[in-house]
Homo-oligomer: A and B are copies of this chain.
Amino acid sequence: MLVVVSAPSGAGKTTLCREVRKVAKGLAYSISYTTRPPRPGEVDGVDFHFVGETVFRAMVEGGEFAEWAVVHGNLYGTSARTLEGTQERGEDLLLDIDTQGARQLRKRHPEGCYVFVVAPSMEELEARLRERRSDAPEEIARRMARAREEIASWREYDYLIVNRRLDEAVRQLGCIIEAERGRTSRLSLELPDLDLPGEGRRS
């Protein structure tokens, strides 16, 4: 199962994804490739694969991305190999990607679980972007404008999380993952000892 999480910058998506991995067992994480320079504290190969634009473009040409998009002038992409690998192993994969990338994935993986995260209000979103202090005022204005565009696509997602408090949002995302794992439409080989009559197991 793919769990795709999108959110406007500042809604708390990155922290939420990090925290939910501590709670939800058996959830792999897709480390995106990006041409954006690392922020303080970000580690190459952990938070992102940081690459130059030439490398990124070559990967695009080589068909190495399951999705890729331009966000705030930087390139972001998801490794197709990561996606295929976790699917082959039957693992669940958490992806932290923007609305454009999610749209691309949804076409090929409509069975995925798509979650949109928002701050409780636009004012709160702006306040959070200011608190981050890593962005210049014009960058904040740019992110707010883009946030409005992104939020407009929330109905394309299966679930909406209003991130008022981190612990509640983490619990909610954890619940979505746990609930989705019990969807009958996902259950095929996963009923080993039930001896169900009727339709029974699909293999």
Contacts and interface: CB of A to CB of B under 8 A. Distances in A.
Nearest to A178: B175
B184 A159 contact: yes
Nearest to A179: B179
A185 B154 CA distance: 11
Contact of A172 (B157, B171, B178): B178
Interface in A72-119: 116, 118
Contact of A194 (B157, B162, B178, B193): B162
Contact of A159 (B149, B174, B183, B198): B183
A120 B153 contact: no
A148 interface: yes
Contacts of A195: 121-122
A148 B195 CA distance: 10
B120 A193 contact: yes
Contacts of A183: 158-160
Contact of A151 (B159, B174, B187, B197): B197
Given A176-B179, A178-B172, A179-B176, A199 B120 contact: no
Nearest to A171: B178
A161 interface: yes
Contact of A175 (B152, B175, B197): B175
Among all A-B residue pairs, the 4 with the closest Cβ atoms: A152-B198, A175-B175, A179-B179, A176-B179
